[in-house]
Structure 1
Amino acid sequence: MDIDGTLLKWVDGQTEDYETITPEVYDAVHRALDAGAHVVLASGRSPHGMTSIADLLDIPREEADQLWVVASNGAVVFRYPPMEVVHEETFDAAPAVAAVLEHHPHALVAVEEREVGGYRVNRVFPDGELSGEQIITHVDDIVGDPVSRVIIRDPQATADDFLELAAKLGLHGTDYVVGWTAWLDLSPVGVSKASGLQHVVDKIGLRAADVLAIGDGRNDIEMLRWAGRGVAMGQAVDEVKEAADDVTATVHDEGAAVEMSRWFPQDS
C-alpha cells in the first residue's frame, strides 16, 4: 500500500497531526494480517519518513518477522524494526538535475541524508513537505556522489509545467515521476515501486499475481500495472485510474479500507 493519499489523507499545511491512521484503515490492515497476508508499505517517502507509519499501524506485530518496506519509489527496500536496508539502487543524478535547473533555476533540490534522518537541500522546502532535518548544501555537493533519489520542487510552477519539461528533456539516464504539484522525483532507470516490490515477493516466495496494490499517485502507476490486482484511489488523476484494474472510494471515504474489506471482511 501507498501511504500519502492512500493510508493518510492529504491536508493543506501538513503537520505531524496529519499522520493519522483512521480506525477503519487500522482494522482492515489487521484483518489482512490475521488472514496471513503480508502487508508492505510502498512510498515515495525516504525510509526515515515511513517507520512512523508502521508504528501507527502497530506493524509488525509482536513475534512477527520484520516488516518489508519499499521506500524512495522503489530505490530502497528495508526491513523494520530495526531499520535494515537490504537493497538499494543508486545513480548519477548530476546531469539530470543540471538540465532541470537550467529551466527552473530557483527550484529546490533535496537528497536523503539517512544518517541524520533528514535531507541535504539547496534551500529550505516549504513547511511539512519534507520530514526530518534539512541541511543546507550546495547543489554540486548534493548530487556529487551517486544517490537513490533526488527531489526537485518549484513552488512557483505547476505539475503540468514539470510534466512538459520532463517530456522535453527526456532526462536521459533516469526515470522520473511528477507529483500533484511541481514536484519531480528522479530515480535510476527501471526503478519504481514495482521493481522494489518485485524484490520483496522474490524474497518471500510469492509472485506479482499474488499482490493487491492500492495507490493514488503517478508514482503508483507501475505498481498498479504490475500487481495481480491494482486499485486506484477514487481521487487519483485519470492516468492513474487507467493503469488500475479497479477504482475504490476516495481517501476521505476510506477507500483503502473499502478495498481491503472486499478480501478481508469484518466478521458478521
Structure 2
Amino acid sequence: MIKLAVFDLDNTLAPLGKGITPSDIALLKALQARGVALAVCSGKPVGYLSGFFRQAELDDLYLIGENGAVMQKGIEYPPAFYKEIELSAETKETLRSLHEEIFRRIDHPFLQPNQFELTVYPRNDGEWSAVNTLLREREGKMEGVEIYIHPDCVDFIPKGVTKRSGVARLFETLGISAAEALSVGDGVNDYPMLAYTGRSLGINLPDPSCVERNFTVIGDALRYILDSLC
C-alpha cells in the first residue's frame, strides 16, 4: 500500500489555467480517507498553490513549489511547516544577471513571482524571439542554472533543484521511503520525480515507457490508485 501520492498540477490534476473538477476533488479526498497523504509538486510558487487548493477545499496536503525549491504543509499563512533551499553566490549572480537581461530586452516582461527561480512568460512572437536570442547568447554561460522550455514559459532553475530533489526532502521529513510513494505527472520536468518514486503514473505523458501506466484523464488515474494501489 502506498503512503504518499505526489501529483504535478498543470495538465495533471487540472488543465492549464483551470480548476480541479468536483468529481476529481472527491476522489482525492477518498484517497485521504484511505490513509494516503497527498502532495503537489509543481513549477508554480507555493503562494499560487495555496490559493489554488484553498478554492478546491483541499487543505491537508504538502505543497512543493518552484520545481522542488520550496515546501510547506497546508494552505495557511504562515504555514505550520516550511522549508526552502539555499542558493550559492554563483547561482544568485547568474539569476540576477538573467533577470536584468530579460528586463533590458523585453518591455515590462511578465515574470512568475518566484522566490528562487526565474520564470518568464513571453506574450507574443517578439518576446519569444528575445528570450530565444538570450538563450543562444548565454549558452554555456549560465553557471549554476538549468533551462526548461515549456509551451507557455521558460524556467531558469538552480542546478540540482528538481521535482525529485523536492520530493526526496519531503520523504526525509515524513520518514518514508521512495518505495512507499506514488507520483503522477505529464511532462519532461516530471521525469526525475516519476523515476524516483516506487510507483508512477502518467497523464498523456510523451514517453509512456517512463511510467507503469499512462492515462488520458486524471479521474481514471485516481480511480486506478483507489482500486489497485490502496
TM range (shorter): 0.7 to 0.9
Contact 1:88 1:148 survives alignment (8 Å):
no
- Relative to structure 1, the CA distance from residue 78 to residue 165 in structure 2 (aligned partners, 3 Å threshold; closer, same or farther) is farther
CA distance in 1, matches of 2:122, 2:21: 32
Q: Label 1:265 to 1:27 Cα distance change in 2 as closer, same or farther (>3 A).
A: farther
Moved more, 210-219 or 92-101: 92-101
The structure-2 alpha-carbon separation of the partners of 1:193 and 1:174, relative to structure 1 and needing over 3 Å to count, comes to same
Residues 186 and 224 of structure 1, relative CA distance in 2, 3 Å threshold? same
Q: Structure 1: which amino acid aligns with 2:121?
A: R
Percent of aligned pairs sharing the same letter = 18
Is 2:219 aligned against 1:257? Answer: yes
**C-alpha separation in 2, matches of 1:166 and 1:32:** 48
- Residue 167 (structure 2) aligns with: 197
**Change over 3 Å in CA distance of 1:169–1:214 after alignment to 2:** same
SS of the residue 2:120 aligns to: strand
Amino acid at match of 1:180: P
Which structure's relative contact order is higher, taking Cα pairs within 8 Å and 6+ residues apart? 2
3-state SS, counterpart of residue 37 of structure 2: coil
CA distance in 2, matches of 1:78, 1:257: 26
Structure 2 Cα separation of the partners of residues 90 and 204 of structure 1 = 21
Deviations 1:87-123 (A, max 9, x none): 1114334325646976995347xxxxxxxxxxxxxx2
Q: How does 1:97-176 map to 2 (within 5 A)?
A: 98=97, 106-107=105-106, 123-125=108-110, 147-155=115-123, 156=125, 157=128, 161=132, 165=136, 168-169=139-140, 171-176=142-147
Q: 1:221 Cα deviation (Å)?
A: 1.8
Q: Is the 8 A contact 2:50 2:76 kept in 1?
A: no
2:198 pairs with 1:228: yes
Choose between structure 1 and 2: higher helix proportion: 2
- TM-score of the superposition, structure 1-length normalised? 0.67
Residue 244, structure 1, aligned to residue 211, structure 2:
yes
- Paired letter, 2:214: V
Q: TM-score, normalised by structure 2?
A: 0.77
Kindly report which structure 2 residues correspond to 1:198-217, keeping only aligned pairs within 5 A, or say none.
198-217=168-187
Rounded Cα–Cα distance in structure 2 between residues aligned with 1:170 and 1:27: 47
- Aligned alpha-carbon RMSD (Å): 3.3
- The match for 1:89 is 85
Aligned residue identity for 1:244: V
Corresponding pairs, count: 213
Q: Paired residue for 2:15, among 9, 19, 30?
A: 9
Q: What's the counterpart of residue 4 of structure 2?
A: none
Q: For the Cα contact (< 8 Å) 1:214–1:256, is it kept in 2?
A: no
